[in-house]
Each structure stands twice: as C-alpha cells, then as structure tokens.
Structure 1
Amino acid sequence: MFHLVLTACFAASSPLCMPVLLPAGSAATREDCRHGAARITQDWLQDHPDLTGNGFRCVAGNQLPALDLREIAPGVHVYQGRPAQMEDTADGRIANLGVVIGEDRIAVIDSGVSRRQGQEFLTAIRQISDKPISHVILTHMHPDHVLGAAVFAEAGAQVVAHHALPRALAVRAQSYLDNALRLFGAEQMLGTEIVLPDMVVTDSMTIDLGGRSLLLRTARTAHTDNDLTVFDDASGTLFTGDLLFRELTPVVDGSLLGWIDWAEMPPSPVPSLIVPGHGRVAQNWPEAVKPQQDFLTALRDATRETIRDGLPMSRAVPRIVEGMSAWRNGWQSYEATVARDATASFKELEWEQ
C-alpha cells in the first residue's frame, strides 16, 4: 500500500516542518495515490490553518515508521507502551493500543498520544491488513489514549466512546494539547488535535467485524467517569483501558471506591487474555487485577486512618504517602503518582458516611 505524505510546516515564524500522513490518499498503487493528492492535501490544510504545505509524495508503507505490533491471539494485535508516566518519557507513548481484525473490518482500541503515533499505528496496521478500519474505540479520555484518533477518523473509522467522554474531553482538550506540546515539543505533536466521538455507549454495544464481534461496556466511575471495556468474543481477549494498570502506578482520576468495587467483580464472559491500559498482557483475571486491587485497598485504608485521626489534607497526604511506602518497589513512576493519588483519595473519602 502507498500512503500520501504531506510535508506540513507551522504557518507562524517557526521553520519546523514534519511529514504528515493523510489516510484519505492511501491506495494500492503509487499512481492511484497520486490521483487526487493535490485536492486531498489542499482540503486538509484548509482544515488546519496553523499549518502550511511544502509538497507531498506517495510512499510505500514499508518505507514509513511503524509501531511494533505483537499478535497475542489470532487477529488480535497489541502495541505495548512503556510503563511510565508521560512526563518521564520523550514522546508520551505509554499506553497499550489494540487492533482486532475481523473477516470484513478492523477495529482499533485507543489511538496513542499524538498524530505522529497515530500515523505509525495506522502504518503498522496496513502492513498486516488492507481491510477497512470501521471503528476506533476510545477507552477513556486521557491524552495518551486519544490524541491519535484524528488519523483513524480521516481513514473512515467511526470514533466510539463512553457517553460521558465528549463532555469530559471537551473540557480538558486545550490543556491536554498544551501540556503535551510542552512535554514533547512541536516535532512530536505537529498536527495533533482532539476528535470527539461519532457514537457513544450508554451501557453496552456490540460491533460486528465479520466472523467476530466486540462487546463494549461502560463502567461506573472508577479510574475516570468515562471508562469503557472491549471484549473480543472470538479470542476471549478483554481490553480494559486504564481500568487496569500493571507495572505502572495506578492513577486515581475518578473514584477510588468505585474502582475497587469494579475490580471485585470478575468480568463476564471470563476472558482468556487481558490487555491492560499499561503493562504486560495477563493470562487470567486474578493475575491481572490482584496487584492493583491490593494497592488501591491500601490507599483507601491509609486515607481512612488519617481521616479518623482528624488530620487536615495538608498533613494527611504526607502521612498517606508514608503509609504506602511498602508499595514503592512494586510500581513504576511511583514517586510521581502516589502523592496525587493520596490527594484524590482524601478528597473523596473526607466526607464518607
């Protein structure tokens, strides 16, 4: 397959230019890719007034950067992100991303932290299959999972998410983009934008890919208030998004108690493989969930102790952090996360009845 690649430059005084893959121009042959390329690039630039074009070309997919995808079950491929917080990396590529290939269509689970990562994700998928990508499913609002979605939307995929995600993401959109630009620079983030869902899930939804289907389910407020899981019936693979952390310290951004409750109920159907939002793929539910559940339960108990002792938050948070010290060696990016978790936990439990 050949991909249309535009050299895009900042319209402002910066001389920075970067290649931007335009999925609308992808084709089986170079000649077909070139046909209509001028119109496609012009239309795309009109939608991105902060950028200008400096030429385009049609490039074979095997000559473009591509993510490293690993097949964990027939038709199920995973990119495993680094188990670290975004600020501890050079490019923010910390989230696990998934691909499920049916007989007729492909679904993508999460899209990465930037357009650049989304492009490399698409290129990797096209090295495996040229079937249409019908859906990109966003498991929740956080930037490491959603900022590459525009690439797949331009490829014709419908963007699907929890019904609470549009509001939550819209409120945070500019801060997410600004923070990613500050952390990773214009070279990594050029062309990155927020894309809101075309379809939302209020309780559950089934997506037919031909020969296999995906069951999407919303969760109660837990890691966030817009968490979504994806279950592939053909392989028994469950994508949990950030409802499940492995290796990387869990981040409380919704409800600590809700998250503990969610994990106490084993999934149904029982999965044979579990792909967490961060960390290694697990073979069974107890293996997947126990370390996180132990961490969250210890956080709850340490927080309740400070509240019983009548400590204000300014004194409670250091006490909670100290009480969680036994967990330091079990999780990556622990120091950068545990105080934040302690603050969120205290705020939630302070008025617990």
Structure 2
Amino acid sequence: MCDNHQKPITATDTPAFFAIDNYGFPEAGEHPADPPNYYPPYFTSERFKKLGYHVEELRGGFYWVTSGGYDAAFVVTEDGVIAIDAPPTLGENMLAAIEDVTDKPVTHVIYSHWHSDHIGAASVFGPGVQIVAHAITKELLERFPDPNRPVPTLTFDTDYTLTVGGVTLELSYKGENHCPGNIFIYAPAQKVLTVIDIISPGSATFMHCDASQNITGWYQAQEQLLKFDFDFLVAGHHMRYGTPETVKASIEYFADVLDGAQAAVDRFSRSDALIGILDGAGWDKVFVGTENWINSMANYATRYVLEKRTSNGQLWSERLAGVTTQTKYHAYTVLESIRLERPRPNYRLRGENPPPFLT
C-alpha cells in the first residue's frame, strides 16, 4: 500500500510509464479493514442473522428495508401500502417487512428503474397492484419481458405526483444517468429521497460507477440529489440509508476520481508517453500496447485517489468502505467517460501530427 505521508501525485511529477506498476491491485490480505462505522448494529444482530432483512421507520410511515446489500422502501398510507422496488435479495422478505408493521395491502409499486437486481421480485406483490414507472422503463420491460417484473400500468415522462391515502410522493425524471428511465422519488412530508444506484452511503460504490451507462449523467445526478430538501436517502445498496453528509462525501470522492482520471488522460495522451508505452509493448502488438496505455491511466488515477488526503485529513480508505478494491474500476470507467463523453480539447489538423506508427 501507499506511504500515507507521500504527497499526492500530479500530472507533471510522475513517470511517463508505469503500466507494469500494479498500484491499486493489492492482494486480499493487504487491504485495510472497512471503516468501523460502516457496519450498523442491525448487521450483527441475531434477528438479522435469522431473518435476513432489517426494516426501519425513517419518518412518518416511510420505511427502509435492507438485506445488507440491497435496499428498498415502502410507505404506509391510510388506504394501503406503496412499495418502492423489490430486489430479489429481499424477495418475499419485502412482504415480511411490510407485515411487520401493517396489515394493509400493497396497492401501488414504484419501479426506480428496470434493472432486475432492484425489481426482479416485483411479482411477489401479485397481479392487483398498480405499477408506476417512467415510460422508458415500460418500454424496456416490454422489449425484454420478465414475468417477475410485470410491465408498469401507469407511466410518466418528466414529472408525476402520486397521492395515496394522504401520502404524496413526487416522481421526476432528469435524464439518463445510471440507466435510461432511472427516476427520483421524493416524499416531501417525510423528507425522504429515493434514488437508486447513484451513490452507496458510506462506501465507494460497486465497481464501474455502479455499472452505470451514462457516466456524465451519473455525475450530474449526484449533484441533483443535493437540490432536494431531504434528511434520509434510500440509495439501493449496502449497509445503511444515506444522509446529506454521506452524499457530500461520495461527491467528494468521485470528484477526486474524476480529477485523477483527467490528469491521467492528459498525461498519457501526450505523444511521448504514448509512444513510450507502444514501444514497450512492441509495434507488432498493438492491442498489448493499448492495454498498457489504459492500465497506465487507470493505475495513475487509482494512485492519485488512494494517496490523496481528503477534506477532513483522512485517506479515502479511512472514510469509505471498499475504496482499495473499487477505485481502480471507477478510474477506468471515468477515464473512458472523459475520452468518450466529454469535449475533446482538439483534433488533428489536415496534414499534421500523423499517428506515430506512420512516421
């Protein structure tokens, strides 16, 4: 692991080529333990070990349900229950959690997005419920039918207000982020926001920016979270619900990932660095050289993040769980986002700067 007192690297003070430096890919025993506050008390309780789920009221009849890896939610109203998502890892335990607090039936189900790891058990609610989702989610589920993910019965394009039994939920779509159709679900009276797969409170999030499709939109969604007046965030994953502070920590972490990735792209896209990497692989092994080039950038960005002192003076591995295993995947995904989704600084002029293998 890194020297904790080493100053963060920059684009101007590191070697041009360290593809063979496997920084950020340590053996399992070399990883530090997760921050102790990452694991809440329920995780080691006998009840959780026996039942496999935890349910907790956040405020005003709005409940958070977790399997310790996947999260969902439900709201108890005067006329019935509104469920939000149904991860297969919860499955029928979602029904058990609801039955723990009310005998009212589930009348409505909201799909956050179409991915089966979050709604792949929606059939447990039966055929009589109204299913609310974005229009894109319905289109995708019609295109790729799944009996465990019934097709939505009510859709919207931009905004929709769902009021059931005196409870209001405000649904909005701000464009593609984690995937097309991924929506914001806000309970203004309870100040609970549900947005899935944008951050994972207390952790570095699952690899490749939580397997997101539009990384620029995904970054934008992080900032959009803070535009809501919320006290609790249901985020879809891991050990705990979120707060504004955990959102801010995640935003800071991924800002560092972006900074490191941008510095890596800038550094290793220079002709001298690129030629050095290709020469090292051999000109008859173009794809080996390409892999070395990408690995060089990913390792550079990973080292930048893992060695950087954060805003409170700690390393990221001391603040968020999973940093030493997930950062390298985020670094690759973000640097590819820079190359593919963000503006290019220039382009080749006619007759100038030919590719090095043509010189």
> TM-score band, normalised by the shorter chain?
0.5 to 0.7
Match of 1:157 in 2: 129
Q: CA deviation at 1:294?
A: 0.8
Paired with 1:151 and 1:137, the residues of 2 have a C-alpha distance of 14
Which of 134, 154, 159 is the aligned partner of 1:204?
A: 159
Q: Which moved more, 1:214-223 or 1:164-173?
A: 164-173
Q: Structure 1: where are the runs of 5+ without partners?
A: 1-63, 83-93, 175-191
Paired with 2:174 and 2:55, the residues of 1 have a C-alpha distance of 27
Match of 1:185 in 2: none
User: Are 2:133 and 1:133 aligned?
Assistant: no
Alpha-carbon distance change, 141 to 248 in structure 1, aligned in 2, over 3 angstroms = farther
User: Are 2:303 and 1:322 aligned?
Assistant: yes
User: Are 2:329 and 1:340 aligned?
Assistant: yes
Paired with 1:198 and 1:67, the residues of 2 have a C-alpha distance of 29
Q: TM-score, normalised by structure 2?
A: 0.63
Q: Which amino acid aligns with 1:280?
A: R
Matches within 5 A, 1:80-95: 80-82=66-68, 94-95=69-70
Alpha-carbon distance change, 209 to 331 in structure 1, aligned in 2, over 3 angstroms = same
3-state SS of 1:281 partner: coil
Contact preservation (8 Å) 1:65, 1:123? no
Paired with 1:197 and 1:208, the residues of 2 have a C-alpha distance of 17
Paired with 2:335 and 2:327, the residues of 1 have a C-alpha distance of 12
Q: Which amino acid aligns with 2:120?
A: L
Matches within 5 A, 1:303-314: 303-309=261-267, 310=269, 312-314=293-295
Contact preservation (8 Å) 1:112, 1:144? yes
Paired with 1:313 and 1:172, the residues of 2 have a C-alpha distance of 34
User: Are 2:110 and 1:97 aligned?
Assistant: no
Which of 272, 276, 281 is the aligned partner of 2:231?
A: 272
Q: Which amino acid aligns with 1:151?
A: V
Paired with 2:101 and 2:232, the residues of 1 have a C-alpha distance of 21
Contact preservation (8 Å) 1:162, 1:200? yes
User: Are 2:119 and 1:146 aligned?
Assistant: yes
Alpha-carbon distance change, 334 to 169 in structure 1, aligned in 2, over 3 angstroms = farther
Paired with 2:152 and 2:304, the residues of 1 have a C-alpha distance of 41
Matches within 5 A, 1:1-353: 67-82=53-68, 94-114=69-89, 117-152=90-125, 154=126, 156-166=128-138, 193-251=148-206, 252=209, 253-265=212-224, 267=226, 270-278=229-237, 279-283=239-243, 285=244, 287-309=245-267, 310=269, 312-326=293-307, 327-351=316-340, 352-353=342-343
Larger radius of gyration between Structure 1 and Structure 2: 2
User: Residue by residue, what CA displacement relative to the aligned partner does 1:18-38 show, whole Å, maximum 9, x if unpaired?
Assistant: xxxxxxxxxxxxxxxxxxxxx
User: Residue by residue, what CA displacement relative to the aligned partner does 1:325-352 show, whole Å, maximum 9, x if unpaired?
Assistant: 2433433334543333222212211143
User: Sequence identity of aligned pairs in percent?
Assistant: 21
Alpha-carbon distance change, 173 to 336 in structure 1, aligned in 2, over 3 angstroms = farther
Q: Structure 2: where are the runs of 5+ without partners?
A: 1-49, 275-292, 308-315, 344-359
Paired with 1:201 and 1:333, the residues of 2 have a C-alpha distance of 36
User: Residue by residue, what CA displacement relative to the aligned partner does 1:39-62 show, whole Å, maximum 9, x if unpaired?
Assistant: xxxxxxxxxxxxxxxxxxxxxxxx
Match of 1:48 in 2: none
3-state SS of 1:159 partner: strand
Q: CA deviation at 1:318?
A: 2.3
Superposition RMSD on alpha carbons, in Å? 2.8
Q: CA deviation at 1:133?
A: 1.2
User: Residue by residue, what CA displacement relative to the aligned partner does 1:171-217 show, whole Å, maximum 9, x if unpaired?
Assistant: 8889xxxxxxxxxxxxxxxxx94444333331111111111111111
Q: Which moved more, 1:142-151 or 1:266-275?
A: 266-275
Q: CA deviation at 1:125?
A: 0.9
3-state SS of 1:350 partner: helix
3-state SS of 2:236 partner: strand
Q: CA deviation at 1:140?
A: 2.5
Contact preservation (8 Å) 2:173, 2:184? yes
Q: Higher relative CO (CA 8 A, sep ≥ 6), structure 1 or 2? A: 2
Q: TM-score, normalised by structure 1?
A: 0.64
Alpha-carbon distance change, 207 to 332 in structure 1, aligned in 2, over 3 angstroms = same
Contact preservation (8 Å) 1:133, 1:155? no
Contact preservation (8 Å) 1:237, 1:274? yes
User: Residue by residue, what CA displacement relative to the aligned partner does 1:249-276 show, whole Å, maximum 9, x if unpaired?
Assistant: 2242133332332333465551233333
Aligned residues between the structures:
257
Match of 1:34 in 2: none
Paired with 1:170 and 1:80, the residues of 2 have a C-alpha distance of 28
